Amino acid sequence: MITTQTADNVLKSYYLEAVSDQLDKSANPLLAQIKKTTSDVWGKDVRKLIRYGINGGIGAGSESGTLPSAAGNTYAQFVAPLKNLFGYIEISDKAIRASQNAEGAFVNLLNDEMDGLVKSSSYNFGRMLFGDGSGLLGKITASESTVYTVDSVRNFAEGMIVDVYNASSSAATGRTVVSVDRNKSTVTLSGSAISTPTGYSIYLQHSKGLEITGLGAIFGEGDLYGVTREGNGWMQPYIQTEVGDLTELAIQKAIDEVEARSGSKINFIICSWGVRRALFNLIASHRTCETLELEGGFRALSFDGIPVVADRFCPEGTMYLLNTDDFGLHQLCDWQWLEGEDGSVLHQSANKPTFTATLVKYAELLCYRPAGQAMLAGITES
């Protein structure tokens, strides 16, 4: 007979490993290339000692001259708090009881819930990889009743629960994204219309300032991991804006500049759909386009042996050229169920005939060599 205890055991013994593997390897092609590690995690923070520059204790001299002065390596410490990542499922008591004598129905019930959890977690985790850690989904530029025009609908999907903020505080919380019009760049939110919302920002619920440090921060401005960029060339990636028509020369120059400045070798390129189409047209105009198989079952276009993948969350007209060996997802542990004192993962919701389970991961993304990465922006898309 199927009981909540049975469901609890199945979630822990079977689904956890499968879900963890999918989220780590199949959720996003970039994430699949980044190593996951529990090293350098101290309490609630990641503290990573970074070596930059070269050892100064070398030199040339005469046969009887003075030897070079000794000098050690140059270090800086990256410090970042672990971010709290959650996934959530809910199963009604009625559904469990209806499946008590039908194992197949119960398995279908759990499969459906877990599939929804994986898709939702993959969506949001993939989005975070391109964000700046702020949790910002988009900014409102105009409105008509509960329909809001935003600067980009790239990060929105129906069913998301969001908070709306003005310059200093929340203007509305717990609003559900009812619909997304990608042609008009509008989102419809539940609830009453927000008064004069133009200029307001929309964030994922409870996530403002709490998401992982993605490419938006690495290629952004201001301090990174507690280290100032100003005066530290090794903290500044290669960035070219207003590229216009994409050329192989522009891509190769970025690759060469990164290696000349930092010694880093680009091994992964990720871009928007329109930029990948532009690159495909460029390559196909004079030679056969080659493809590569990547970990996680992803396929990629090849640029001189470097995989090129498109991602739905990459900003329009943008191409990131990365050395994935310079990245690490530092985590307290891999995905785990949030357990109660008795070790159970299914918990009854307060005053409701439903049971919930929460998947958790405490992690932060670090880029050890920001100067070893490059970004081309303002590319004309095809």
CATH code assigned at 372: 3.30.2320.10
Scan for tokens 């960035």, then name that residue: 239
pLDDT digits (tens, 9 = 90+) for 26-39: 778 888 889 999 99
Dist CA 189 CA 76 (whole Å) = 45
Instruction: Give domain status of residue 227, yes or no.
Output: no
Better-predicted residue by pLDDT, 300 or 97? 300
Instruction: Give domain status of residue 28, yes or no.
Output: yes
Per-residue pLDDT at 326: 94
Per-residue pLDDT at 80: 94
Domain hosting 308: range is 238-326+368-376
Instruction: Tell me: do 372 and 242 sit in the same domain.
Output: yes
Q: What's the one-letter identity of residue 261?
A: R
The CATH number for 159's domain is 2.60.40
Instruction: Tell me: do 105 and 191 sit in the same domain.
Output: no
Q: Reply yes or no on whether the pLDDT at 270 is more than 90.
A: yes
Last residue of a domain, one of 183, 204, 225: 204
Handedness of CA 118, 124, 129, 133 (dihedral sign): negative
Instruction: Tell me: do 127 and 19 sit in the same domain.
Output: yes
Q: Reply yes or no on whether the pLDDT at 180 is more than 90.
A: yes
SS3 306: strand
Last residue of a domain, one of 204, 221, 253: 204
Structure tokens at 47: 């503290």
CB 353 within 8 Å of CB 83:
no
Instruction: Tell me: do 313 and 274 sit in the same domain.
Output: yes
Structure tokens at 275: 């930029």
Instruction: Give domain status of residue 96, yes or no.
Output: yes
Q: Reply yes or no on whether the pLDDT at 150 is more than 70.
A: yes
Burial class (CB in 10 A: 0-12, 13-18, 19+), 47: middle
Better-predicted residue by pLDDT, 346 or 46? 46
Structure tokens at 203: 């964030």
Better-predicted residue by pLDDT, 298 or 325? 325
Per-residue pLDDT at 99: 64
Better-predicted residue by pLDDT, 284 or 46? 46
Instruction: Tell me: do 118 and 24 sit in the same domain.
Output: yes
**What number of other Cβ atoms are within 10 A of residue 270's Cβ?**
27
In the chain, the number of structural domains is 3
β-pairing, 35-37 vs 327-331, is: parallel
Instruction: Give domain status of residue 186, yes or no.
Output: yes
Instruction: Tell me: do 271 and 334 sit in the same domain.
Output: no
Per-residue pLDDT at 133: 93
Q: How many CA atoms lie within 13 A of 351 on its CB side?
A: 0
pLDDT (average), residues 127-144: 93
Instruction: Tell me: do 91 and 13 sit in the same domain.
Output: yes
CB 379 within 8 Å of CB 278:
yes
Dist CA 327 CA 5 (whole Å) = 40
Dist CA 63 CA 350 (whole Å) = 82
Q: Reply yes or no on whether the pLDDT at 296 is more than 80.
A: no
Per-residue pLDDT at 301: 85
Burial class (CB in 10 A: 0-12, 13-18, 19+), 176: middle
In degrees and rounded to multiples of 5, residue 231 shows phi and psi of: 85, -5
Per-residue pLDDT at 292: 80
Per-residue pLDDT at 113: 75
Instruction: Give domain status of residue 233, yes or no.
Output: no
Better-predicted residue by pLDDT, 363 or 348? 363
Q: How far is CA 319 from the centre of its chain?
A: 16
Q: Reply yes or no on whether the pLDDT at 68 is more than 70.
A: no
Concatenated DSSP letters of 53-73: S---------TTSPPPPP---
Q: Reply yes or no on whether the pLDDT at 114 is more than 90.
A: no
pLDDT band at 21 (very low <50, low <70, confident <90, very high): confident
Region for 260 from its dihedrals, namely left if φ exceeds 0, alpha if ψ lies in -120 to 50, beta otherwise: alpha
The CATH number for 354's domain is 3.30.2400
pLDDT (average), residues 49-70: 70
pLDDT band at 302 (very low <50, low <70, confident <90, very high): confident
Instruction: Tell me: do 313 and 251 sit in the same domain.
Output: yes
pLDDT band at 75 (very low <50, low <70, confident <90, very high): confident
Dist CA 10 CA 111 (whole Å) = 11
Instruction: Tell me: do 104 and 9 sit in the same domain.
Output: yes
Instruction: Tell me: do 372 and 253 sit in the same domain.
Output: yes
Last residue of a domain, one of 204, 226, 246: 204
Per-residue pLDDT at 70: 63
Instruction: Give domain status of residue 27, yes or no.
Output: yes
pLDDT (average), residues 163-167: 91
Average pLDDT, the chain: 86
* DSSP H stretches of helix in the chain: 4-10, 16-21, 29-33, 93-98, 103-129, 215-218, 248-262, 273-284
pLDDT band at 3 (very low <50, low <70, confident <90, very high): low
Dist CA 269 CA 321 (whole Å) = 5
pLDDT band at 59 (very low <50, low <70, confident <90, very high): low
Instruction: Tell me: do 303 and 335 sit in the same domain.
Output: no
CB 382 within 8 Å of CB 62:
no
Better-predicted residue by pLDDT, 97 or 307? 307
Q: Reply yes or no on whether the pLDDT at 40 is more than 80.
A: yes
pLDDT digits (tens, 9 = 90+) for 201-249: 999 998 999 999 999 999 998 899 999 998 888 899 999 999 999 999 9
Instruction: Give domain status of residue 382, yes or no.
Output: no
Instruction: Tell me: do 114 and 35 sit in the same domain.
Output: yes
Instruction: Give domain status of residue 144, yes or no.
Output: yes
Percent of the chain with pLDDT over 90: 52
pLDDT (average), residues 341-364: 84
